[in-house]
Amino acid sequence: MMLENTPDVPRAVTMIPMGAEAQMRALPLVRDLRAAGIRTLMDYKGNMKKRLNRASKGQARFAVLLGEDELAKSIATVRDLDSGDQTEVALDALVTHFQSGH
C-alpha cells in the first residue's frame, strides 16, 4: 500500500552537548526548539563520532554541537549532516536559525 498525500515529516535536529556544563546549557535550548515546533533530540552518550553517526542514521538533518569552546563564545556549531557544512550560530538565535529554513 502506497502512502500518497502524506505530509512530509521534517527531519530532526540532534543536540550534541560535550561535557556536563554543555548538557546543562543544552536542556533549555532543546526545550526552546521543541516549543517552536522543531523536532529536536538530544544525544549525550559516547564520543562525538558515535553521536554524529547515530544522528545521521536516525534521520536527523542537523547536529547542534555544544562544547567548551562554543560555550565560551555563546555559540553552537550547526552541522548539516547531508552536506557536512558547518556554521556557527549564536545560542540565542538557534530557534530563528532553524525557523528560517536551515
Amino acid 9: pLDDT:
65
Rg (CA), the chain: 14
Give the Cβ contact number of residue 36 at 10 Å: 13
Taking the C-alpha atoms of residue 81 and residue 75, their distance in angstroms, rounded to an integer, is 19
Which CATH number is correct for 13-99, 3.30.479.30, 3.40.390.10, 3.40.190.10, 3.40.50.800? 3.40.50.800
- Contact predicate 41/60, CB 8 Å: yes
The answer to whether residue 100 scores a pLDDT higher than 70 is yes
Domain ranges across the chain: 13-99
Q: 22-75 pLDDT, tens per residue?
A: 999 999 999 999 999 999 999 989 898 999 999 988 889 999 999 999 999 999
For residue 54, give the C-alpha cell.
547515530
Angle at 100 between CA 74 and CA 76, to 5 degrees: 20
